[in-house]
Amino acid sequence: MSHPELTPQEVLAAGPAAPGVNERPWLVRWDLLGEDAGDLVRRTLPPALDFHTSGTTGPSECWRRTLDQLWQEAGMLAALLRPERPGAVLSFAPPRHVYGALATLLVPARLGLPVWYRPHFFGALPAQAPEGRWAVIAVPWSFSALRRKLAWIEAREHVAVLHSTAMLPSAAHDFVQEAGPGRVSVREVFGSTETGGIAWREWGPDDPPWDLFDDVEFVPGHDGPDHDRPDHPGGLDLHDASGPRTAPTAHHPDAEADPDVPLTVRSPRLAARPGLAPLPVWRTDDLVRPCGTRRFRFSGRRGGLVKINGRRVDLGALEHALRAVVDCADLACLPVADELSGEHLELYVVPPPGGRLDRARVRALVASHDLTVQPRQVHVVDRIDRSPTGLPRRIHPTRPADAGAAT
């Protein structure tokens, strides 16, 4: 795979949504710009840019970010990478999404580094690239792709990975281990199309807490509507290709002592619907456990949502559709971690009284209908424990299987 060179002016003038910027590999030499990158960005890009949510659980929504907001956030993301002293950038994040516009287009400009963009799972990495210290802009499938190129990784002094868009896949841990001690570091960003980056952390196997970005504040006890539309997911659509989380859990409201609270934030980088002012606060569909005033641990999603290959899937709506397909006493879709997509779902089915079901039969029934997504695995079980409100009881994160399923 060759990486044709584009000038910084060419890639900015085309715009983040251009097919040629998203669907083909390219190289941009920000290190040879010869002028202030911020001046070029402000002169070339419009004062505001629109980004769209995936629309899987409802109409796709347009959210507008000002160029000043984007440039500011690109500086914050660049600051996460700068301590690792990268000399070049390799990006897998498509610029049509907020995370890609930030990290693929603007972060290299902020760092003044050359950036190679690779949009596909298969293909060669930059052949004539320098061997020193690198930054990698990752999406969930990037880690599986990089595991296929360990010789390229091992030739680099250090690789600093910046990841967003979904839960960190299990392949990330394997990639870090296989690359060798100290060669790879991973920083994750937690956010959404609507909020931009909310928090970040340096990943570790002990599941460390998330730190709010400096311009983000918790809004405790917010009683307002959930971002104007209660069923609208606020989970990491950062970045809709922003988040990166440990395996989600099924939440239930039975225990009043449950310390989980909805993640509600205030930030000058909140997006706006076109023609309207930015919302003063944003209540996401994420449940967190605050650790003091500036940190939290992610617990799960209130709305029963998962992101599979960048698409939001409403587990409740999918269960409703499946009940019309499978004759059973009960069924539930539960989120799981997935090596490639970061998140997926598995189907648990209870046979009808006096009846029988096997996995092959259930899978054939499900596959015969045009559903939003196919479960990664099917399990036939004796019963599904539910809370008094009908929700599956809290579960511990499910260990991911080695192989995912096509969706």
Tens-place pLDDT, residues 163-185: 997 778 878 989 999 999 999 99
Residue 282 tokens, joined: 């944003």
Tens-place pLDDT, residues 200-221: 999 998 889 999 999 999 998 6
Rounded-to-integer distance, Cα 203 and Cα 292, Å: 20
Quote the pLDDT of residue 53.
75
Counting the structural domains of the chain, the total is 2
What count of other Cβ atoms lies within 10 Å of the Cβ of residue 40? 17
CATH classification at residue 314: 3.30.300.30
Distant-in-sequence, close-in-space partners of 388: CB < 8 Å, separation ≥ 6: 254
Percentage with pLDDT > 70 across the chain: 83
Report which of residues 129 and 32 the model is more confident about: 32
Rounded-to-integer distance, Cα 173 and Cα 287, Å: 24
Average pLDDT over residues 101-112: 98
- 231 in the same domain as 100: yes
* pLDDT over threshold 70, residue 392: no
Quote the pLDDT of residue 131.
85
- End-of-domain residue from the set 303, 327, 344: 303
Phi, psi of 147 (to 5 degrees): -65, -25
CATH classification at residue 117: 3.40.50.12780
Quote the pLDDT of residue 31.
97
Tell me if 378 sits within 8 A of 366, measured CB to CB. Answer: yes
Per-residue 3-state assignment (H helix, E strand, C coil) for the chain: CCCCEECHHHHHHHCCCCHHHHCCCEEEEHHHCCCCHHHHHHHHCCCEEEEECCCCCCCCCEEEEEHHHHHHHHHHHHHHHHHHCCCEEEECCCCCCHHHHHHHHHHHHHHCCEEEECCCCCCCCCCCCCCCEEEEEECCCHHHHHHCCHHHHHCCCEEEEEECCCCCCHHHHHHHHHHCCCCEEEEEEEEECCCEEEEEEECCCCCCCEEECCCCEECCCCCCCCCCCCCCCCCCCCCCCCCCCCCCECCCCCCCCCCCEEEEEECCCCCECCCCCCCCCEEEEEEEEECCCCEEEEEEECCCEEEECCEEEEHHHHHHHHHCCCCCCEEEEEEEEECCCEEEEEEEEECCCCCCCCHHHHHHHHHCCCCCCCCCCEEECCCCCECCCCCECCCCCCCCCCCCCCC
Tens-place pLDDT, residues 40-97: 999 999 999 999 876 544 567 899 999 999 999 999 999 999 999 999 999 999 999 9
- 325 in the same domain as 246: no
Quote the pLDDT of residue 260.
80
Confidence of residue 371 (pLDDT cuts 50, 70, 90): confident
Tens-place pLDDT, residues 265-294: 999 999 999 999 888 999 988 889 999 999
In a domain, 205, yes or no: yes
Q: Which of 38, 5, 198 is nearest to 111 (CA)?
A: 38
Read off the pTM. 0.75
Quote the pLDDT of residue 226.
46
Quote the pLDDT of residue 329.
85
Average pLDDT over residues 216-229: 64
User: β-strands 342-350, 217-218: how paired?
Assistant: unpaired
- 273 in the same domain as 361: no
In a domain, 250, yes or no: yes
- 244 in the same domain as 326: no
pLDDT averaged over every residue in the chain: 83
Quote the pLDDT of residue 54.
60
Ranges 84-93, 126-135, 198-207, 304-313: which has the least confidence? 304-313
Residue 198, domain extent: 1-303
- 347 in the same domain as 216: no
Ranges 103-107, 112-116, 321-325, 396-400: which has the least confidence? 396-400
In a domain, 386, yes or no: no
Report which of residues 307 and 405 the model is more confident about: 307
Quote the pLDDT of residue 200.
98
Q: 215: phi > 0 → left, psi -120 to 50 → alpha, else beta; which?
A: alpha
Quote the pLDDT of residue 12.
98
Per-residue CA distances from 124 to 26, 42, 278, 288, 379 (Å): 13, 33, 42, 39, 38
- 333 in the same domain as 274: no
* pLDDT over threshold 80, residue 240: no
In a domain, 387, yes or no: no
Report which of residues 343 and 405 the model is more confident about: 343
Ranges 114-118, 225-229, 354-358: which has the least confidence? 225-229
- 75 in the same domain as 186: yes
Quote the pLDDT of residue 102.
98
Quote the pLDDT of residue 255.
34
- Provide the CA 174 distance to its chain's centre, in angstroms: 19
Quote the pLDDT of residue 399.
30
Quote the pLDDT of residue 319.
86
Confidence of residue 395 (pLDDT cuts 50, 70, 90): very low
Tell me if 254 sits within 8 A of 388, measured CB to CB. Answer: yes
Rounded-to-integer distance, Cα 212 and Cα 136, Å: 22
In a domain, 385, yes or no: no
Quote the pLDDT of residue 225.
44
- 329 in the same domain as 213: no
Hey, what's the torsion of the CAs at 395, 396, 402, 404, to 10 degrees? 40
Quote the pLDDT of residue 231.
33
Q: Which amino acid is at 344?
A: H
Quote the pLDDT of residue 248.
36
- 39 in the same domain as 12: yes
- End-of-domain residue from the set 274, 303, 332: 303
- 343 in the same domain as 227: no
